[in-house]
Structure 1
Amino acid sequence: MNAAECALQVGDIFALPDTCLKIKEIIDDEISDIDEIAELVSYDPVLSSKLLRLANSALYNFPKQVESVQKAVQVLGETQVYNLVVASGAAEAFATLKPDVIALDKFWEHSINTALIAKHLAFHLGVKKDEPIYLSGLLHNLGELVVVQVKPEVAQICGQYKKGVKPWTKQQALLGFSYVDCTVELLKHWQLPERIIQPLKQLNQPEYSAANKVSLILHLSSCLALSEANPDVFQLHDLVDKQIMEVLGLSKDDLHDASSFAFLEGMSILSLLNPALFSIF
Structure 2
Amino acid sequence: MIDEKQFLNDLNEAIDSNKLTLPTLPEVALKVRDAVEQETSSANEIADIIASDAALSARLLQVANSPLYRGRVPIDNLQMAVARLGVRLVRSLVISLIMQQIFQATDDLLDAKFHQIWEESVQIAAISRVLSYNLDHLDKEQAMLAGLIHNIGALPVLAMAETRDELVQDATELDRVIDILSPQIGQRILEMWDFPESLIKVPANFLNLEYESEGGGDYSDIVLVARLQANLNQNTDFEMPNVPAIKKLGMEPEVNIIEIEGVAEDIQNIEVMFHN
Q: Please state which band the TM-score falls in when normalised by the shorter chain.
A: 0.7 to 0.9
Aligned to 2:224: 219
Q: Percent same amino acid at aligned positions? A: 22
From the superposition, tell whether residues 242 and 189 of structure 1 become closer, same or farther in structure 2 (CA, over 3 Å). Answer: closer
User: Where do 1:228-247 residues align within 5 Å?
Assistant: 228-229=233-234, 231=235, 235-237=238-240, 240-242=241-243, 244-247=245-248
Q: Unpaired runs of 5+ in structure 2?
A: 1-7
Contact 1:208 1:244 in 2 (8 A): yes
User: Where do 1:59-208 residues align within 5 Å?
Assistant: 59-96=68-105, 98-103=107-112, 104-129=114-139, 132-152=142-162, 153=164, 159-160=171-172, 170-171=176-177, 177-205=180-208, 206-208=210-212
RMSD value, Cα = 3.2
Q: Unpaired runs of 5+ in structure 1?
A: 162-166, 273-281
From the superposition, tell whether residues 226 and 40 of structure 1 become closer, same or farther in structure 2 (CA, over 3 Å). Answer: same
Deviations 1:62-98 (A, max 9, x none): 2110100111011011101111001111211233554
Instruction: Measure the CA separation in 1 of the matches of 2:137 and 2:87.
Output: 19
Instruction: Measure the CA separation in 2 of the matches of 1:43 and 1:74.
Output: 18
Instruction: Measure the CA separation in 1 of the matches of 2:61 and 2:19.
Output: 31
From the superposition, tell whether residues 227 and 182 of structure 1 become closer, same or farther in structure 2 (CA, over 3 Å). Answer: farther
From the superposition, tell whether residues 248 and 27 of structure 1 become closer, same or farther in structure 2 (CA, over 3 Å). Answer: closer
How many residue pairs end up in the alignment? Answer: 258
From the superposition, tell whether residues 79 and 217 of structure 1 become closer, same or farther in structure 2 (CA, over 3 Å). Answer: same
Aligned to 2:275: 271
Aligned to 1:24: 33
Q: Which has the higher contact order (CA 8 A, sep 6+)?
A: 1
Instruction: Measure the CA separation in 2 of the matches of 1:97 and 1:143.
Output: 18
